[in-house]
Amino acid sequence: MSNPCLYLVVPCYNESEVLDTTAKVLGFEKLRNLVANGKVSAASRILFINDGSKDDTWMKICFWHSQHPETFSGLSLSRNRGHQNALLAGLLYAKDKADIVISLDADLQDDVDAIDEMIDKYVNEECDIVYGVRSSRKKDSFFKRFTAESFYKIMSWSGVEIVFNHADYRLMSKRALEELEKFSEVNLFLRGLVPLLGFKTGIVYYERGVRQAGQSKYPFKKMLSFAVDGITSFSVTPLRFITKLGLTIFCLSILMLIYFCFRWYSGETVLGWASLICSVWAIGGLILFCLGIIGEYIGKIYKESKHRPRFIIDQIIDRNA
Ligand code: UDP
Ligand code: MG
């Protein structure tokens, strides 16, 4: 195997501030070197996916394509569909053009030097999927580190097979992507889906840096809903947890009843509305919480049953098209 055609898929949402730097680093420093060293073919490209940006991200992508069509290509979605859908749009488009596709963020947080190692694993070890895994989280704030690591732990507790500290920086072969396309779910969580594909996989460790410019598009609220999505799309453990919780509380209430009967029999009256009101609130809260979890799953079924398209492509600019 030699000289595979590589597409670097980069989802962009309001990334105008960082896009020029990204284009220079990925295009001129990385891709052109890879082509010059004979690691990838000359048909290789950087594919920017514009995820319905409100700033001039798409204009910049068009500019880079017009200046260097042999390096930059672009794909614009009809509206903002979120990171996972934008990424999928890019992956599915690129799979028809390339032998291997590597996905990475627009903000250059993923160390681009890991790309060489990923390609080596594909060429020399015939890995169909190579995961980029963060070697440490030292550069993250305490809060981000804590929430992210808790997320991976809850996922593995729920029985979901995901790669610890791996986000969406990964290499996938054409054949792996063709299989990925067969998963038609609307609730996309690629980190959980890709391990389900199987095939020979490899891992490349890298140090994740800080965002080069612009703001994070994942504020806490979005991160939380992403985590809930990930868990409820792949595991029914939370539903089983509810059953166990309900059963435990029921058993406890029976025990309490026996205890109070015993005290009543021995002549002691049970006073105190405080304990009563507390338990009413606690049980009420638990019931609502559990209903919420069940609602999450029903919501998922509702969305899946509609079979709506996951993204709509508005424009494609690619010399290979
Ligand atoms: N992104 C996207 N659509 C969205 C939100 C984010 O395509 O609706 C892209 C964004 O442009 C970036 C990547 O997803 O390339 C990851 O986002 P970000 O770097 O803001 O996330 P963080 O690294 O802070 O978790
Ligand atoms: Mg980022």
Token pair, residue 46, equals 């950087």
Residue 9: strand pairing partners: 47, 103
Number of the ligand closest to the Cα of 75:
1
Only one residue has tokens 């420093």, namely 29
Alpha-carbon distance of 223 to 147, in angstroms, equals: 9
Q: Indicate if the pLDDT at residue 71 is higher than 90.
A: yes
62-101: buried (b, 16+ CB within 10 Å) or exposed (e) per residue?
Answer: bbbbeebebbbbbbbbeebbbbbbbbbbbbbbbbebbbbb
Q: How many CA atoms are closer than 13 Å to the CA of 65, on its beta-carbon side? A: 21
Number of the ligand closest to the Cα of 87:
1
CB of 105 closer than 6 angstroms to any ligand 1 atom: yes
Token pair, residue 128, equals 């169909």
Span 95-108, average pLDDT: 95
Helices 273-306, 220-234: inter-axial angle, 10-degree rounding: 70
Token pair, residue 9, equals 């898929």
**Which of 27-41, 125-139, 271-285 shows the lowest mean pLDDT across its residues?**
271-285
Alpha-carbon distance of 318 to 43, in angstroms, equals: 11
Q: Indicate if the pLDDT at residue 1 is higher than 60.
A: no
CB of 82 closer than 6 angstroms to any ligand 1 atom: yes
CA of 106 to the centre of ligand 2 (A): 7
pLDDT of residue 64: 96
CB of 110 closer than 6 angstroms to any ligand 1 atom: no
Alpha-carbon distance of 135 to 133, in angstroms, equals: 6
Number of the ligand closest to the Cα of 19:
1
Q: Indicate if the pLDDT at residue 269 is higher than 70.
A: no
CA of 288 to the centre of ligand 2 (A): 34
* Helical segments of 101-236, H only: 114-125, 142-157, 174-180, 190-197, 220-234
Span 40-44, average pLDDT: 93
Token pair, residue 196, equals 């389900």
For CA atoms 189, 73, 59, 77, the dihedral sign is: negative
Q: How confident is the model at residue 267 (pLDDT cuts 50, 70, 90)?
A: confident
Atom of ligand 1 nearest to the CA of 86: 7
Contact (Cβ atoms closer than 8 angstroms) between residue 226 and residue 155: no
| Between 311 and 258, the higher pLDDT residue | 311
- Residue of 49, 217, 226 to test ligand 1 pocket, by largest number of atoms within 8 Å of CB: 217
pLDDT of residue 274: 67
Q: Indicate if the pLDDT at residue 299 is higher than 70.
A: yes
CA of 316 to the centre of ligand 1 (A): 21
Atom of ligand 1 nearest to the CA of 104: 15
pLDDT of residue 54: 95
CA of 87 to the centre of ligand 2 (A): 14
CB of 11 closer than 6 angstroms to any ligand 1 atom: yes
CA of 127 to the centre of ligand 2 (A): 26
**Which of 159-173, 205-219, 296-310 shows the lowest mean pLDDT across its residues?**
205-219
Q: Indicate if the pLDDT at residue 238 is higher than 70.
A: yes
Q: Indicate if the pLDDT at residue 115 is higher than 90.
A: yes
CA of 266 to the centre of ligand 1 (A): 66
